[in-house]
Amino acid sequence: MAKTLRVGMIGYGFMGKAHSNAWRQAPRFFPLKAHVAMHTICGRQAAAVQAIRAHLGWENASHDWLEVVESPLIDIVDIATPNDSHAEIAIAAARAGKHVLCEKPLALNVKQAQAMLAAAQKNKVVHMVCHNYRRVPAIALAKRFIGEGAIGEIQHFRARYAQDWLVDPDYPMKWRLDKNTSGSGAHGDINVHIIDLARYLVGEFKEVCGLMHTFVKERPLTAPTSKLQSPAAKAAEKKGKVTVDDAALFIGRFANGALASLEATRCAAGRKNQLTLEINGTKGSLSFDLEDLNRLKFHEVCGLADRQGFRDILVTHPDGAHPYVNHYWRNSNSLGYEHTFLHTMADFVNACIEGKPVHPTFEDGLKNQQVLEAVELSVKKGQWAKV
Amino acid sequence: MAKTLRVGMIGYGFMGKAHSNAWRQAPRFFPLKAHVAMHTICGRQAAAVQAIRAHLGWENASHDWLEVVESPLIDIVDIATPNDSHAEIAIAAARAGKHVLCEKPLALNVKQAQAMLAAAQKNKVVHMVCHNYRRVPAIALAKRFIGEGAIGEIQHFRARYAQDWLVDPDYPMKWRLDKNTSGSGAHGDINVHIIDLARYLVGEFKEVCGLMHTFVKERPLTAPTSKLQSPAAKAAEKKGKVTVDDAALFIGRFANGALASLEATRCAAGRKNQLTLEINGTKGSLSFDLEDLNRLKFHEVCGLADRQGFRDILVTHPDGAHPYVNHYWRNSNSLGYEHTFLHTMADFVNACIEGKPVHPTFEDGLKNQQVLEAVELSVKKGQWAKV
Amino acid sequence: MAKTLRVGMIGYGFMGKAHSNAWRQAPRFFPLKAHVAMHTICGRQAAAVQAIRAHLGWENASHDWLEVVESPLIDIVDIATPNDSHAEIAIAAARAGKHVLCEKPLALNVKQAQAMLAAAQKNKVVHMVCHNYRRVPAIALAKRFIGEGAIGEIQHFRARYAQDWLVDPDYPMKWRLDKNTSGSGAHGDINVHIIDLARYLVGEFKEVCGLMHTFVKERPLTAPTSKLQSPAAKAAEKKGKVTVDDAALFIGRFANGALASLEATRCAAGRKNQLTLEINGTKGSLSFDLEDLNRLKFHEVCGLADRQGFRDILVTHPDGAHPYVNHYWRNSNSLGYEHTFLHTMADFVNACIEGKPVHPTFEDGLKNQQVLEAVELSVKKGQWAKV
Amino acid sequence: MAKTLRVGMIGYGFMGKAHSNAWRQAPRFFPLKAHVAMHTICGRQAAAVQAIRAHLGWENASHDWLEVVESPLIDIVDIATPNDSHAEIAIAAARAGKHVLCEKPLALNVKQAQAMLAAAQKNKVVHMVCHNYRRVPAIALAKRFIGEGAIGEIQHFRARYAQDWLVDPDYPMKWRLDKNTSGSGAHGDINVHIIDLARYLVGEFKEVCGLMHTFVKERPLTAPTSKLQSPAAKAAEKKGKVTVDDAALFIGRFANGALASLEATRCAAGRKNQLTLEINGTKGSLSFDLEDLNRLKFHEVCGLADRQGFRDILVTHPDGAHPYVNHYWRNSNSLGYEHTFLHTMADFVNACIEGKPVHPTFEDGLKNQQVLEAVELSVKKGQWAKV
């Protein structure tokens, strides 16, 4: 445990907050193979970064990402910026020989992702995409079950990521709704999560066919000051054009023959952040719901016919039978969203010391991007697309 | 299958409708050991009984229960009248050598129940109380599991029967709310159901200590004609005194050492007809909810630690693994409330032919009554009472 | 109520049993506008039909369907035969001026369905397809809510019909797995149910793109006599080729702009007969699960932010607020699968007397068939197909 | 925000870990009215405390609690020791003028609790018991709803705290199973949690009647080294006598007329840490399950009859409608067990600065103790006891 890894984090918004928390907390719970020093937080607005530095637990603040990335005092570069800067920062970091952890989605497109992967490989750094849901304990347990053959050969994968913040037509324009700044809508933002889980749990996609739709094509540039706005005022408000999808669905086939159905939407009234999935195999099934994340449902085709049924596994076994949880609290106490980041950082740190790959690598990020693009191509052409 | 059993049913209200349906339908689904003839329906209002006779499927109507009970043309007497006439009819029927099926609760009190049992035993007739919930397939499966030792020795039984029709203080007086006509309130009406299930699934009670309460002590004699009644009109409306319990709770010990907690209430807002129970044993647990009656939840303490969890058993296995259901529809289709009566009638008919006892017998009815009275005694004295 | 409608039912298998039950029971619970006479049951095997006639409640038995259909003693023809005889019987019945109720799917293909609809229209008979799930009380309530605007404009419809009887590769060949006799597999058998519900609840499909797959391509001609079969015996067993789909998925667009995702599979381990659906609109959402059919989940976008949530509506309100249920039992008691047929027969009988159309008509059956075929076409071509 | 409060924490076991985490994290998420300095951690084993000090985030370590309590460098004393030292430490801290936060249960008995309250009041320090479940967001929301009259007058409170770690008869003796060191078993350890919630949500108890039981009366002094122990080895193993309850149940009445039923057990197979409660009032109901802690179920008696149902409120509204959650993550992300401690510490710190009482105070702790003792008295006497 002698070694110390010094982290430089680029970005200080919502994801910066979540990553900072994980960097602070991971060493408190997990027996890491290195000390972690939260060396520098970096963002464009020097004053804002400085103002939040101590609160988030960092030793230094910077507004020059390149300086951080190239600093000999930094071992790990953690990229928590908006998507359009991932590639540039990651490539520079890899070239500087730094291990790189990058928020999802890895890049704006396949080309960027390829360049990022190439840079990481060429410079032999450890590279990881922060797809935190892989390390929800219930998902990690699902992966273990599948690996042990508990559900046999997979035949169906079905997932849906449903939110509802765009149901309201008065929700105003944001950079996330502009294709130039965001790349895509629900597709790149949340479909990518379930694409990553599909690849993690089932394997590579072979071909896909999709559908993307924008329900509300124009939105007010600013949020209405009141719900009781007069019709005249409403008519006079300035509108911006929404250029990304509100919803993206696709069906597909995996290389191993399993069938896929995925859906991402920001227009499912009442679904706040619901990622559900079900996997059916020749020997059993698994199902999961992110809104009840401490649970995994498992059906096993065996035993007495009168006892068959989905088991409701509370993935918080006090004696360490379940992944990650024994590092926290006894008595099967619940974990939440933030802990998935702790697990990510913990595994990443250990991989940096061991010099071993740690999933999801940039190669995973690239493959996710290839699936995203294949779906987009299929939508454009109205037919199936190979991945 | 040569023999025919001719049924005379006394009573034609809600329970008469449910029993008639069961007599009509049981032979359509179950391979009974006798033909069933729906010979006579009987009630005090001659015209009303005659008017409903054919609709409910009966050959004859009568307004003289004694004549029916003593008729040589009747083999089975089915008692679906209000509680205060159960004893008289059942005793007369037994004396006339008729097999007797009696609605629950068996009697108004222990003394009546004893006389009924004595008459049935002396005259060697088959006797059964219609506690239909014993034959919900999920409950019958729970009984089987317990018999097979699947949950080991029972340590806890916990049940609650919750309804909400008395939450509204404007709900008017009815005979059910008058002790003279009904005996008791939630206690005798619905606590008796979970007492019967407790005895069926766990065993005899040893001692109990209870609590009974009436939240709304006076009710309008007639339902208000409008929710918008003026305060003056409201003040002027005639009230009647509620003389039975709205809720009855008790804790207790079974003879085998298990602990009990039971609750019956008609004041649980939003709970329409919810009978829930959970049983914990040294090797597993079972739980059930009547509002989702095709399911039994089962936990087994064994196997791999990471796979432990309550199983959600859909008790509609298409290949006959579950009790009763294979006589209905393929494809695991759902059953409902009425089918519990078909199962009761089917088992009763077969027992009549075989001359064997069929649970719950009048002895069970008597023991249920003894538990009810022990709880009432404990309430009166403010201390524990032996059963 | 003077009039009597005399029913002739063709078919006496599983569906014949379900229909017979409904014909017997519907008049017991619903105030029909006509008496129903269960006049004749008809099937090819004269002895078998005669043997089951009385048990199912019919007055006469016949083995000549044409005779029944043309008999002046018959008013209604109920078709409960395998799919390949629906068209011939229905057309003959319509020509004979009989009202026709036909099991789903209406026909083997669009062409047949068109001819059936034309015959019914030309002869001015009442025509209905027995898509019984439209009359699950929770589904009927969902339809009412949508009609009242409770969820606003629909944006997403998502349904899945999942069974698991084909997960076992030793499950033997049956006529249902041979395209010549069955037309298709999960697609025509169960996808058609959710297609019908989609059209009922949302509206007409505009375009679709699908995927069909057969996981187990060969099956033993007879069920293995033992699970412990030797490898040699296993290798020697005769196999038949499965020529229909095990699973059929599709995505699509409705004419009103809503998006669809549907899946039917017979290979979802642990899912016995699970039909789930979720509908999202601009003002709310609905969700339903056939394995818990007395419940409808409803989310409404309104009111206080801290009270938002899906409501768990037990669709068994004792005072008649919910469709159909007030004709049964007080106290919110559960209904099951069979009651959906009673509701179908009750509405059909009343429509025959009133001479009014009753959904789903043969036109609905035809449109369902058009969707089925459009999906098949899209699969064949690997691209989107117009409906 | 100029002021800094310096914390001295006594105890460094499981609870010390949970409290340390909360002290570290609360200021990261909540805008506290003071800086928090984690000044000193204190425990008997000097080396062990020193070894864990930095890992848990403390500046100094001590093995002399009195020195810490009396140090002028300490403003807050946080007591996370076993129950038998709470009184002595808390009284000394109060006398030294320190604000005191004490783990639950407050004391070993009523007498100790009275002395602790008196000392805190006399010395005018802020005092709080760490009943963390009061600050589960869903529980805090339930409290708000009740305060707003959303469920009317409460008629029923029903709670159960069920664990299963003592189902295994081979689980060895521990100090928790010896009355001398622990006071009581499930009663003082987990019944106290639901007693505290009952008082928080409903009000004071008036009278109670209980039942306590020990299922396994002797346990091995050490855990068996193998499950495959020979019978001879098993017979020879040394046993210790269990002197506390495995389960404690009671029924009761609140001063406001509501009825109570509470149960605590460590012998409910499959229930890892399940605290469930249901509250029924004249206008609605609430229910909660700690194993799914981000959810509150709420039924409201009003509105259209066909829309009535329990709402499943995900208590993670992104716009701050729900207590505490807006300080964390956007997008309705889940919280877990540890966050309840952050909320406790945050509210305590603010109360210290404001000099205001913060519930649950030592008075609450005392009243909880009075309920515990009244139940024990009722058990001893076999009759009801006043609280």
| Residue range D22-71, pLDDT digits in tens | 999 999 999 999 999 999 999 999 999 999 999 999 999 999 999 999 99
The answer as to whether D274 is a domain residue is yes
Cβ-Cβ contacts under 8 Å, C210 against chain A: 251
- Check the CA dihedral B229-B233-B235-B238 and report its sign: negative
Please give the pLDDT value at position B182.
80
Provide the residue range defining the domain that includes B252.
Answer: 137-292+294-335+366-386
**Is a pLDDT exceeding 80 seen at residue D328?**
yes
> Residue D381: which H helix or E strand, with range?
helix D362-381
Categorize the per-residue pLDDT at B2 as very low, low, confident or very high, splitting at 50, 70 and 90.
low
CB atoms under 10 Å from CB of D238, counted, come to 9
Q: Which residues pair with C286 in a beta bridge?
A: C279, C298
The residue among D102, D133, D164 that closes a domain is D133
Between residues D226 and C272, the one the model is more confident about? C272
Instruction: Assess whether pLDDT exceeds 70 at residue D171.
Output: yes
Please state, in angstroms and rounded to a whole number, the distance separating the CA atoms of residues B64 and B93. 13
Question: Average pLDDT in the A217-239 region?
Answer: 76
User: B63: which residues sit within 8 A by CB, 6+ positions away?
Assistant: B42, B43, B44, B45, B46, B49
CA distance A82 to A105: 9
User: Contact B134/B191 with Cβ under 8 angstroms?
Assistant: no
Domain co-membership, A87 together with A151: no
pLDDT of D111-157, one tens digit each? Answer: 999 999 999 999 999 999 999 999 999 999 999 999 999 999 999 99
The domain boundary, picked from D133, D167, D202, lies at D133
What separation in angstroms does the CA of B121 have from each of A249, B91, B130, B344, B354?
Answer: 69, 11, 18, 20, 16
Q: Are D250 and D239 in contact (CB under 8 A)?
A: no
Interface contact C335-B332, CB threshold 8 A: no
From the CB of residue D153, how many other CB atoms can be counted at a distance below 10 Å?
13
Strand D4-10 to D35-42 pairing: parallel
Give the pLDDT mean for D339-346.
98
**Do D209 and B209 count as a contact with CB atoms less than 8 A apart?**
yes
CATH code for the domain in which residue A95 is found: 3.40.50.720
Contact (CB<8Å) D291/A290: no
Predicted ipTM > 0.85: yes
Give every CB contact of residue B130 below 8 A, 6+ residues apart in sequence: B19, B101, B102, B103, B104, B341, B344
Same domain, C242 and C182: yes
A362 closest CA partner among A160, A161, A123: A123
Looking at B333-337, B351-355, C367-371, D352-356, which range is the least confident one? B333-337
What amino acid is encoded at C186 in this protein?
A
Can you read off the two tokens belonging to residue A130? 């922060």
Q: How far is CA B195 from CA B159, B188, B293, in A?
A: 9, 10, 18
pLDDT band with cut points at 50, 70 and 90 for residue D2:
low
Q: Which residues pair with A252 in a beta bridge?
A: A208, A260
Cα–Cα distance, D2 to D22 (Å, whole number)? 21
Domain count, chain B: 2
Give the gap in angstroms from C-alpha D25 to the nearest C-alpha of chain C. Answer: 26
Considering only the beta carbons, identify the residue of A25, A331, A336 that sits closest to D333.
A336
Rounded Cα distance between A324 and D336, Å, is 14
Chain B hits for C31, CB-CB cut-off 8 Å, are none
B267 to D280: CB separation less than 8 angstroms, yes or no? yes
Same domain? For B171 and B84 the reply is: no
pLDDT digits over A236-295, tens only?
Answer: 778 999 999 999 999 999 999 999 999 999 999 999 999 999 999 999 999 999 999 999
Residue B360 falls inside a structural domain: no
> D246 vs B257, B263, D211, CA distance in Å?
13, 22, 11
**D305 and D172 part of one domain:** yes
What 3-state DSSP class applies to A135? helix
Domain-ending residue, one of C133, C165, C190: C133
Q: Which residues of C touch A259 (CB under 8 A)?
A: 211, 213, 247, 249
pLDDT at B228 exceeding the cut of 70:
no
| Direct distance between the N- and C-terminal alpha carbons of chain A, in angstroms, rounded to an integer | 43
Position of tokens 């106490």?
Answer: A333
Residue reference for tokens 């025919």: B4
Residues of chain C with pLDDT under 50: 1
In a domain, residue A348? The reply is no
Question: Which residue type occupies A364?
Answer: D
Residue A358 lies in a domain: no
Better pLDDT: A210 or B224: A210
In a domain, A79, yes or no: yes
**D30 and D92 co-located in one domain:** yes
**Integer Cα distance of B214 and B247 in angstroms:** 7
Residues of A in contact with D24 (CB under 8 A): 24, 28
The pLDDT confidence band at residue A94, using thresholds 50, 70 and 90, is very high
Same-domain check for residues A201 and A283: yes
Q: Is the pLDDT of residue B1 over 60?
A: no
In angstroms, the separation between the Cα of residue C153 and the nearest Cα of chain D is 19
Tell whether A341 is covered by a domain: no
Residue D84 shares a structural domain with residue D15: yes
- Which segments within chain B are labelled E, that is strand? 4-10, 35-42, 60-62, 76-79, 99-103, 127-130, 154-162, 205-213, 218-220, 239-241, 247-254, 259-265, 274-281, 284-289, 295-300, 310-314, 385-386
Give the residue on C whose Cα is nearest the Cα of A162: C280
- Residue C341, in any domain of the structure: no
Q: Quick one: pLDDT at residue B180?
A: 82
pLDDT tens-digit profile of C321-374?
899 998 998 766 899 999 999 999 999 999 999 999 999 999 999 999 999 999
Angle, to 10 degrees, between the axis of helix B14-29 and the axis of helix B339-354?
A: 70
Using the predicted structure, report yes or no on whether residue A169 has a pLDDT greater than 60.
yes
Q: Are residues A145 and A8 in the same domain?
A: no
Q: What is the pLDDT of residue C225?
A: 62
**Across the strands, what pairs with A161?**
A264, A275
Q: How many CB atoms lie within 10 A of CB D37?
A: 17
A382: CB partners within 8 A, 6+ apart: C209, C383, C384
On whether both B37 and B113 belong to a single domain, the answer is yes
For residues C299 and C150, the answer to whether their CB atoms sit within 8 Å is no
D85 pLDDT higher than 60: yes
Give the three-class secondary structure for B228: coil
Residue A173 domain-assigned (yes or no): yes
Q: Which residues of C touch B165 (CB under 8 A)?
A: 318
Residues C277 and C172 both lie in one domain:
yes
Better pLDDT: C276 or D321: C276
Is B332 exposed, middle or buried, given 0-12, 13-18 or 19+ CB atoms closer than 10 A?
buried
Note whether C154 and C82 are same-domain residues.
no
Taking CB atoms and an 8 Å cutoff, what residues of chain B touch A148?
none
Residue C332 Cα, gap to closest chain B Cα (Å)? 6
> Quick count: other Cβ atoms within 10 Å of Cβ B30?
18
Q: What are the residues of chain B with a beta carbon less than 8 Å away from any beta carbon of chain C? A: 14, 18, 21, 24-25, 28, 55-57, 163, 165, 272-273, 290-295, 314, 316-318, 328-339
**Cα–Cα dist B205/A163, whole Å:** 52
Give A302-330 pLDDT, tens digit per residue.
Answer: 878 899 999 999 998 877 789 999 899 87
Closest CB to A263: pick one of C257, C261, C310: C261
Place of tokens 């298990």: B258
Residue in A337, A339, A340, A341 to test binding to D, most D beta-carbons within 10 Å = A337
Minimum CA–CA partner of A266 in chain D: D331
What value does the mean pLDDT take over residues A335-356?
97
SS3 content of chain D, % helix, strand, coil (to 5): 40, 25, 35
C170 in the same domain as C78: no
Give the CATH number for residue B278.
3.30.360.10
CA–CA distance from C83 to each of A68, C30, C198, C338 (Å)? 71, 29, 22, 21
